[in-house]
Amino acid sequence: MLVDDHTMVRKGLATFLKAFDDLELAGEAENGRAAIEICAKLQPDVILMDMVMPDMNGATATRTIRQQFPNVQVIALTSFKEEELVKNALEAGAIGYLLKDVSADELVKAIRAAHAGRATLSPEAAQALVHAASQPPALGTNLTERERAVLALMVEGLNNTQIAGRLVVSPSTIKSHVSNILSKLGVTSRTEAVTLALRNRLVT
C-alpha cells in the first residue's frame, strides 16, 4: 500500500511496482489518517509511508498501524533525512527508512525484506542514527526529581535554609543536592546553575 500526499508520487510508484510479478498494489492513501482507515480494510503486507504529510504525519500513522495491525510492516519512504525524522519513524515501528531517490531495484528489495521481517536503512538514515547515538545526553536529563525541585527553588531565589524549610528536609541535605546539581550541570556557582536552568528551560 502507498501513502503519500502527492498524487504524482503515488502514480509513479504504482507504475514501476507493476513491473514486478511478485508485488501487488493493494491500495493508496493521501495522508496518515486515511492510511489507518484503509489499512483496517485492506490489511496489506507492507506499507510505503511518506513521513511529512498534512492532517497526520507518517510517524503518528505508523505508530497507530503497528499497534493495531502488528503484522503490517511499514517502510518510511521520504525526501528527508533529518535525525529527528529517522528516529521518530523507527521508534514508531517502521522496519525501514529509505529516501525517495532510491532505485526501483533497491526499493523492491526493501519491500521483500520488510515482508520477511528484515530491516532496510538508507546509508543516510544509518548515518543519522549513528550521529544521534554519539551525541552526549541533553543537559539536565541526569537530574533526579528532587534535584529538579531544588533547582526550581534556586531559580526562585531561595537560599539553602529557605529551600530546606520548603521541602521539609535539613539544610545539609539541600547543600548536598545543590552540590550534585552544580556537578551535573558542569558549573561552579548557584548563579551559573540558575542561568543555565533558565536558558535551557530545565525547570517549569
* % the chain with pLDDT above 70: 100
Q: How confident is the model at residue 58 (pLDDT cuts 50, 70, 90)?
A: very high
* pLDDT computed for residue 143 by the predictor: 93
pLDDT level of residue 195 (50, 70, 90 thresholds): very high
Query: What would the pLDDT profile of 172-193 be if each residue is shown by its tens digit?
Result: 999 999 999 999 999 999 999 9
Tell me which of 71 and 141 has the higher pLDDT.
71
Q: Is the pLDDT of residue 23 over 80?
A: yes
Q: What is the pLDDT of residue 132?
A: 78
Average pLDDT, the chain: 94
pLDDT band at 95 (very low <50, low <70, confident <90, very high): very high
- Please check whether residue 28 is in contact with residue 3, taking contact to mean a CB–CB distance below 8 angstroms: yes
At 16 the pLDDT is 85
Spatial distance between the Cα atoms of 105 and 163, rounded to a whole number of angstroms: 64
51 and 85 Cβ atoms separated by less than 8 Å: yes
**CA dist 34 → 25, 37, 93 (Å):** 16, 5, 18
On whether the CB atoms of residues 61 and 34 are closer than 8 A, the answer is no
pTM: predicted TM-score of the whole model, two decimal places: 0.69
pLDDT band at 10 (very low <50, low <70, confident <90, very high): very high
In the chain the beta strands, taken as DSSP E runs, fall at 2-3, 28-29, 46-49, 73-78, 96-99, 120-121
Q: Which residues lie below 8 Å from residue 137, measured CB to CB, with a gap of 6+?
A: none
In DSSP terms, 73 is beta-bridged to: 46
Going from the N-terminus, what domains does the chain have, and what CATH number goes with each?
Answer: 2-133 (3.40.50.2300), 145-199 (1.10.10.10)
